[in-house]
Structure formats: C-alpha cells, structure tokens
Structure 1
Amino acid sequence: MFYANQVLGIALLLLIGYLGGHLARLCKMPSVTGYVLAGMLIGPSVFRILPRELGLELESVKVLGLGIIAMIIGGELEISRLKLLGKCIYWITPIQVVVTGFVVFAGMFWLGRMPLPHSLLLGAMATATAPATPVAIIREYRAKGPFTSTLMSIVAIDDAACIILFGLVSAVVAVMLNGTALSFSIVWHPFLELFGSALLGVGTALFLILLLRYVKDKQQRLVLLIGFIMLNSGIAQALSYSPLLTNMISGFFIANIYTRPSSLFAIFNDIELPIFILFFTLAGLSLHLDILVANWQLAILYVVVRSIGKVGGISLGAHIGGASQEVKKYLGFAMLSKAGVTIGLLLLVQSRFPGIASVITAVELAAVTVFEIVGPGITRYALFASGEAGQVSHPVEHSM
C-alpha cells in the first residue's frame, strides 16, 4: 500500500476524491458518487493504495462531517415551513417505517430463509436512511421547494423512528435468544436515548445562541459552530446518546429561536466542500466489496425488498397524507441511501448479540456498499424529476 502517514493519506483522499467528483459531474452523475467510487478504488477493495484503518484514524473527520450534515438538516426544520407542508410529513414516517420493516423482515425470513431473530433485526435496521447523501445532493444542485423540504423533514424524523424501532426489536430479540423476561429497562432504552439527545441538543443550542449575541465576526462564528458540533458529538458518545440526533435537534432549535438562522448556517459554505469530500471518500474507502461478493444473493434480496418497502411505504403514506404528486412518486427514491446510522446500529448488534452479529453485519455491509454507490444517482433522479433541482454552472466551486 502507498501509505506512509496520516497526512499523506488525507492528501490522497482530498485530491483523488476531488478528481472523482469532477469526473462524476462530467458523466452527469452527482459529485458524491465520484467521491465514494474514488475512495473505493484507492481502498483495500480494489487498488489497495490506502488501508481501511485510515478511516479509524480519521474518525473525527467523519464525526465533524456527519455533525455538520445533521445540523443543516435540523436547520431546515422551521416550524412555519413544516406547517406549510401539511399533515403528510406526519403520515409518511410511521407508515414507511412499518412497511419497510415488515417487507424486509418477511422477505429475509420467507424468501431468504434466515432465522427469525436475524430477520427481525434486519427489518428494523432497513428503515434507516443515510442523511448525508440527500443533503449533499440537495446542496450540489441547489434544490429548493416543497419536495425538498419534505425530504429533509422526513429524513430527520426517519432516523429518530429507526432508533426507537431498533431498540424495541432488540428487546424482543434479546428475549428470544437469551430466554430472559422482557424488562422495562430494555424497552425504555431507545426512548431514553431520544430524550437524552434532545435535552443535550437543546441545552447546547441555548448556550450557543447566547454566545452568538456577542460574536459577530463570520469566522469566529464558524469556530463556535464547529466547536459546538464536536461538543455535541463528544458528549453524546460519552453518554451513549446519538450524536446525529443531538446535532439535528440543536439545528432545529436554532432555526426556530435564532433571529436569522439562514445566514448563520450559510457560514458552513466556506468549509463544507473539503469536509464533505473527505467524508464521502472515507465512506468509499470503508466499503467491503469482498463481503458483497461473498454474500451477493442475500445482499441482492435485501436491497430489493428494502427498496420495495421504502418506495412503497413512503408512497402509501404520501397518498394517505394528501401529499403532492411529486412526493407520492419520487420521495421514496430519494431516501434509499444507507450508511451512517446503520454502522452505529451494527456496533450495537455486535455488542448485544455477538452470536448472530457476523451474519447481520455481512448482509448490512454488503447492502451499504450497493446503496452508497447507486444511492446518490437515484437521489439526483428524484430531485430532477420533482422539478426542484437547479442547474449549477460551476459545481466544483459552488456545490455543497
């Protein structure tokens, strides 16, 4: 491997990732696809230029990238804007979570012949949507409108719902595998994680808003934003809360309390391109083509049933909620990406259910590989089909 030190690794990730994004745009694909493919090509799955361990060494970069993405999503959830979207956002999430979870469970249990505990966990984990891809694609193509606002809102609510569902299913699986009684503490844990993340996010947001009253310089405000994102993530990790939800809730609170939230979040424009290139190129570096090849049959089945569940569930919820035709037809396709939250849930599976973790990890990592590669392009298609994606003349400079 052509890897001498971490600094050289970062340089290669930035430069090759940038080149991958540029080539992707020339091929009419999203930059994110180029970043992910570039990371995969230079990683151990293909040319073995950089080791997968570099991703562990640069964990702070991934934490920062996901934190920025989460705060941007929260910042889009202004209550006044949510009211304009109507009741559809309250119908779509619960219906798509139930439909996706059941379709994947049924497909893996009856078609894949997987044991009941495995199928239950895979069904719960299938409901998660990677927030990074929709945000990056939206910002690259400057998408704006009711469809885009609905997408951002559903992505935010979806991950919270996934964490709750996974916690409840984990409690049932623990009873099945260990023969123990279903205890209140096990069932309560996901709600505690959600409540703790919300409390932490609101607390740090209030403190940040207070400081911003005395700090007017743009660069100094950027320092505060980055510092609080990392503070949220660090405290959340220490308390076993969700860094993603914590930063999302901070962004939501700032968007609805601060006087000019749009100008505040616009400060991220100065740094997010290199951060996002590193984030997505590292994601590509972490992909496991070998696991995909070894488990291709189960992976294909999982990808198919999850896609059917997501698209069908969201469409059903949109019809019941009286959403627009664009939301009914295309929102499900914009939410197929799968990565960040899934990796966090896999760590929980490995710690709680070591006896069955290897099979679940193999299927999930194989599916993540597929969705990380094809997901950005499908999200791009959905945004253009909805009519809300703008044309960026110089995406290298202005994307993100």
Structure 2
Amino acid sequence: MSELFPHWLSIDTTNATINMMLLGVILSASIFAAAIARRTNIPRISILMMVGIGIAFIQQVWLGAPADDLLKGLSTPLIQLALVMVAFLLGNELEFGQLRQTGRLILVTSLSVVLMSDLLVGAGLLMLGFPIVVAVSLAAISVATDPAAVSESVRDSGRTGLVPRVLLGVVAIDDAWGIVLFGVSMSILGWMVGAEGQLALWHAMWELGGAILLGFAVGLPAAMLTGRLKPGEPTQIEAIAIILLLTGLSSFLGVSALLASMVAGGLVANCSHHHTRSFQEIELIEWPFLVFFFVLSGASIDLYKVDDALMLTLAYIVLRLAGRLVGGLLAAVLTRPGHEGLPHNIGLALTPQAGVAIGMALLAAERFPQYRDSILPVVVASTILFELIGPLLVRRVLR
C-alpha cells in the first residue's frame, strides 16, 4: 500500500496502524447505527451485524479477497472479551435472592427450549432423509443461544419484570446445557461411525468441569478481594483484571469461557455482599466491545458458503424456530399454575445464534470432515438470519 504514496511521505502501513484505523471506523459506524436505530426502531444489534456483513461483501466480493480475519489476529480476542463480559454480567442474574423467585421458571424454560430444539431439529432432519451425523450435529448446535444479542436486546427495550429476568437467567445457563449436549452427541456419533467416542466425551467433560473449576478459582478470590478500595478507578481495574484473567485462562486451558465467566459472576454476586461495583464498572465499558463483537462476527462470515446446502439450511431454520416456539409453549404450560406472566412465545426470544454455534460447527466439521460442507454453510447462513431477526423477536416477546 505504501507504493501508492510519494516516497517523501512517511506512511506507516503496518498491521498495528491499520488495525487502529479500522477499530476507529467500526466505533464510528456504531454511532451512525445508534442514530438509525432511534429513527427506524430497528435494533442497533441488527444494524451492526449488517455493517459487518457489508464489510464482508466489500472484502470478499468487491475486492476478491478470501474470508479472513479483518484485524489480522485481533478479532478473536476482541470477540472473546465481549462474550466474557456478557457472561460475567449474566452471572449477576444467578443471585440467590432472585433465583428463589424465578429459579424454577428459569430451569423449566431452559430445559424445555433446549430439549425441544434438539428433538425437533434432529428428528425433523432425519425424517427429511439427511445423514444421521448431520442431523445429530445440527440438533446439538441448535441449542446454543447468543447471550450478547439477547441481553443487549433486553437492555435496549427498557423492560423490567418477570419476563426479562427469566430471559437473562435462561441465556446464563443455556450454554452449559449446550456444551453437555454437544459433547454427548459428538461422543455418540463418534462411537457410531467408528471414531474415538470416549475421547470426545472426555473433551466435553473437561470443557464443562474445567470451566466450573476455573470460575471458582477466579470468582471466589474476586468476591473476597474486590471492592475493598474506594469506588472509581481501583474497582474498574479490578473488574478488567477479572475479565482478562477469565478470557486468557479459559483459552489456555481449553475450557468454556462463557461458563467459567458465568460461574465467576455468580460467585461475585452471591459472595461479595459488601459491593456490586464490579458489575457496574464492566457495564460502563461493555458497549464498545459489543460493537466489535457484532461487526467483526458479521465481517468474518464466508459469504460464498452461504448458499451451499440451501434445502438443509431452510429445514434447519424452520425446525429450530419450531423447537424454540414449542419449547417456550411447553415451559409456559408447565409453569402456569404458579406464574401467570410467562408468555407462550417466550422461546422465540431465544433465537439469536452466534459465536458458540459457529464454534460447535467448526468442532463438528473437524471431527467429521466428510460432512464439513454440509454443516458449516448451514450454521453460517442461519447465524446471519438469526442474528438479524433475533433482536426483533426479543422485542416482540417483551411487548
């Protein structure tokens, strides 16, 4: 790029310089996204995803470049940081005082939506004649929910009360069920097709159990030590230190960053009775990272794989929506004797799907490479749709 400018100009075209400019452009785009959202009533999350998809279009279609990390290695840690922040804040929803009021609702809703999604997607794809590996893999992947999209949509709506608390509680534990279900599904498939099923099971157990151990290892000291100093910068530094430790250690140990962060956030919420400032400080700095998350997630999508396996993609989208809807309806019926305020369509508010689903798809494609071209395009294409319409469905349910 430097050859485009006169030789007497000192032009710095290193990756670090370009990354800083791109980060500035992304944050600037979020300002326009917020302005458009106020005038059109379209969720700003959906607008940010469209900005990311627009960047992917320019990069892949217009410039002819392959689908690649826009920030040359910086996108992944930024996305991970955003998800860890969201998960840590969701851990605050697992405070025992709140769970005594809504714990049964959260558990029943979560299990109903998870089980019905897995059952309808898996059975539906099998009945349509798709291979069992594809059907079971996509059924397990369908369980995953994007906590960032749901929590930000709830916050944007300004709604309070029973339904928002249940939604935030459900997305706080959904990925734990998803990890367990995905690990067991991969183990069963590995055993059925002759791969190493026991290894898949041990991997899932470590990802789940190791995340819980890491959450305790970080969360307990944090609950005891943070907030002892005066409010302001010291508490903010403590909160950022917790987030960075959770992000780095979870990647280093190969465990679920989302689950570890939720456990740590729950411990801080329940054990640090002397303050709640850690959550407040993270909320103050969370939005810029969420901007990076949604834009970079959209920009990382390989657009040339979106139209592959079109019929399978359509079937997966319809069956997953049906599973969400039926699961929410079942939860409303099961909890109706004690609670009158749970809407029958609450499952539709759990349709957003992003990083966790794509991560599961990559693992499934790595384990069963012969089905890679069937699994990955479906999850990529459905992620685009669910991330765009998901926030709209959350708002509809909350209304």
Query: What is the TM-score of this pair, normalised by structure 1?
Result: 0.88
Amino acid at match of 1:302: Y
Matched, 1:22 2:35: yes
> Which residue number in structure 1 is paired with residue 329 of structure 2?
315
Q: Distance in 2 between matches of 1:146 and 1:260?
A: 26
- Residue type at the aligned position of 1:156: A
Residue deviations 1:295-324, cap 9 Å, x none?
332222111100000111122023113364
Distance 1:12 1:321 in 2: 47
Partner of 1:249: 263
Alignment of 1:280-295 (within 5 A): 280-295=294-309
Q: 1:343/1:215 Cα in 2 relative to 1: closer, same or farther (>3 Å)?
A: farther
Measured against aligned partners, the alpha-carbon deviations of 1:262-289 in whole angstroms (never above 9, x if no partner) come to: 4331112322222221221112212344
**2:91 aligned with 1:78:** no
Is the Cα contact below 8 Å between 1:233 and 1:244 reproduced in 2? no
After alignment, is 123-132 or 372-381 more displaced? 372-381
Greater shift, 146-155 or 211-220, is seen at 211-220
Question: Which of 146, 160, 170 matches 1:130?
Answer: 146
5+ residue gaps, structure 1, are 386-400
1:359 to 2:383 alignment: no
8 Å Cα contact 1:237/1:243 also seen in 2: yes
How big is the shift at 1:166?
Answer: 0.5
Question: Compared with structure 1, are the counterparts of its residues 275 and 339 closer, same or farther at alpha carbon in structure 2 (3 Å cutoff)?
Answer: same
Please state whether the residue corresponding to 2:344 is helix, strand or coil.
Answer: helix
Task: Give a deviation string over 1:346-388, Cα, whole Å, max 9, x none.
Answer: 23223322222231111111111111111111112222x2xxx
Aligned-pair RMSD on alpha carbons? 2.4
Amino acid of the structure 2 residue aligned with 1:209: A
Task: Give the equivalent residue in structure 2 for 1:305.
Answer: 319
Map of 2:9 onto structure 1: none
Q: SS at 1:365's partner residue?
A: helix
AA of the residue aligned to 1:350: A
Cα deviation per residue 1:75-95 (whole Å; 9 max; x = unaligned)? 121111111115232222223
Q: Give the whole-Å Cα distance in 2 for the aligned partners of 1:317 and 1:48.
A: 48
Paired residues for 1:151-162 under 5 Å: 151-162=167-178
* Cα distance, 1:47 vs structure 2: 5.8
Which of 153, 162, 169 is residue 146 of structure 1 equivalent to? 162
Give the CA deviation at 1:188.
Answer: 4.5
Q: Quote the Cα distance in structure 1 between the aligned partners of 2:378 and 2:286.
A: 32
Q: CA deviation at 1:49?
A: 11
SS of aligned partner of 1:117: helix
Q: Which residue of 323, 335, 340 maps to 2:355?
A: 340
Q: 1:344: how far off?
A: 1.9
- Which shifted more, 197-206 or 278-287? 278-287
Counterpart residue number, 2:56? 43
Mapped to 1, the partners of 2:261 and 2:150 lie a distance apart of: 17
The answer on 1:259 being equivalent to 2:273 is: yes
Q: Which has the higher mean CA deviation after the structures are superposed, 164-173 or 137-146?
A: 137-146
CA distance in 2, matches of 1:18, 1:290: 29
CA 1:301 to 1:197, structure 2 compared with 1: closer, same or farther past 3 Å? same
What secondary structure, in the 3-state scheme, does the structure 2 residue paired with 1:301 have?
helix
CA contact (8 A) 2:297 2:355 kept: no
Tell me by how many angstroms 1:118 deviates: 1.0
Matches within 5 A, 1:377-396: 377-383=392-398, 385=399
In 2: Cα distance, 1:98 partner to 1:153 partner:
17
User: CA-to-partner distance for each residue in 1:166-222, whole Å, 9 max, x for gaps?
Assistant: 101101111122266x54x54344233222111111111122233325432422222
Match for 1:360: what amino acid? I
Q: Deviations over 1:123-181 (max 9, x none)?
A: 1110111111011112223332111111111112211001101101101111122266x
Who is 2:78 aligned against? 61
Query: Between Structure 1 and Structure 2, how many residues are aligned?
Result: 381
Distance across 2 between alignment mates of 1:15 and 1:213: 33
The separation in 2 between residues aligned to 1:191 and 1:252, in whole angstroms, is: 21
1:175 maps to which residue? 191
